[in-house]
Structure 1
Amino acid sequence: MAARSLDMTLKDARKLLRVAAHASPAEVRRAFREAAKQAHPDRAGGDAERFRRVVAAYHLLQDAPVARDPFFQPPAPAAPRLGVLAIGPKLALHGGAVEHRLADGRTIRINLPAGLRSGDAVRAGDAELAVQVQGDGDMLVRGDDLWMTVKVAPRMLAEGGRLAVETPLGRRIVWVTKKAGERGLVRLVGQGLPARGRHAQGHLFVRLAPKTAGETQSAARTLLRRFAAAWAA
């Protein structure tokens, strides 16, 4: 009644209490208490007429619908929780069958395609699993690329030369330049994970690590034994 007698609109009431159209009831109450405290006639600088208008504005806004905040973004629906399927680099490269134990205790067999990356999802019966590619000690995966380490003689790093490397795709002959030897890294183009979906064809990076003196002698003895065996045959 007081609000109508003062001929106040919702816009006037919000302006007086300094609240937005989408202000919550709690925000309106806080604004009213602050405005009432400032306008109370018993307070220095207060005014009885302004106090009445503050009270009228509060009563009017109590019954007013709350407008929707134009900048409010509703939370995204929760994504379904996926189980995790951990695989090694070779399985990511070639694909193949793998067994996986589900949360309900069931063990299922999944045929995986070649070229899976971490973050890909695969369907297993009525379950969806997030792929996680993990290194196996001999090899690791970085994005689309495979990385492996090969021990070579220090002379190879210093002078370069022809190197046979056993890769997941079979034996590859690599020509190590002096620059590659200095860097300790050789790239085999297109020898990484295969292209799949949005993923590009990857490469194989071979890190060249120098053999220790003991490893070099052991390799020499192995070659000598092979030569002796072949000669005796």
Structure 2
Amino acid sequence: MDPRREWFETDYYAALGISSDASDKDITKAYRKLARKHHPDSSAGDEERFKQISAAYDVIGDSDKRAAYDEARRLGPAGLGPQMGGFASGPGGFSIRIEDLGDLGGIFGNLFGDGRGRAGRGGSMPMRGHDLETRLGISFRDAVSGAVTEVAVPDASTGGMRHVKVRIPAGVDDGGRIRLAGKGSAGSGGGPNGDLFVLVDVAPDADFGRDGRNLTVSVPITFPEAVFGADVKVLDFDGNAVTLRIPPGTPAGKTFRVRGRGVTTRRGTGDLLVSVDIVVPTKLSSAEQAAIEALRDVTDFEGRSGRRQREADPEPATFADTAGAQR
């Protein structure tokens, strides 16, 4: 369909579910919500609906195109004249030439040419392509270590989808935004392409968490280990063993810091924060039960007397490499 005719026959505001007086911010908000819902990579994706949403945003998401589109719609349901260089309206067949529309004619001329395969007056104005935005789900490990993958975005030249390679930087955060320069919509009249922005959704990991550049993990210890202290083996994110020295009297939830075993980014490398979790046994041998009962009988516990808990910074941990050499 000729783009000028499509403007008359398609309500881009309705395609995004907004009113014609919506603000630029509301237009972008509506587009992002619908694009996230209907993106072909999502579980409920609808490629045809995604194309409609993208086409609408390509016009009314651009202030210059939106102004021309609104004015074209205001002129009414005028069928395009047979010469395609102006608009004809009603049984009387009056015509309006682009040259007679003043500033608006300049906008139409620059956007579409004069209808005879020629640019508008003064030649076609270079216009930058529209920026595109899409979402990408990645694993926790790819977010920490970095990866190369692809995303699918609308291709206006074919009406289908095109695949764009995305390099995921090591240490990208959940909700991070990756900019791919020149990978958006194609420019017109020799103008540059727009950019593609990829919003990253990071899946959770079964063992590790993130706190900025730091990785977090929980390690179980026994009650005797918490009371008397112990050296406990912990695996870092790469599977290397480190030895965590638990001091006597360590409370549940205490956090220890293993330096340099976190996420590496361009800004530096974080640490591994290890929290201890005291495991309470659910099945006891007769000897264990007798020992715990004896402990209960001699324990004078004052821990529920309302003392304020102190919040201490994570303490540095002494650890060893996989060979067991102390560092």
Where on the TM-score scale, by shorter chain, does this alignment land: which range? 0.3 to 0.5
Between Structure 1 and Structure 2, whose CA radius of gyration is higher?
A: 1
TM-score by length of 2: 0.35
Structure of greater relative contact order (alpha carbons < 8 Å, 6+ residues apart): 1
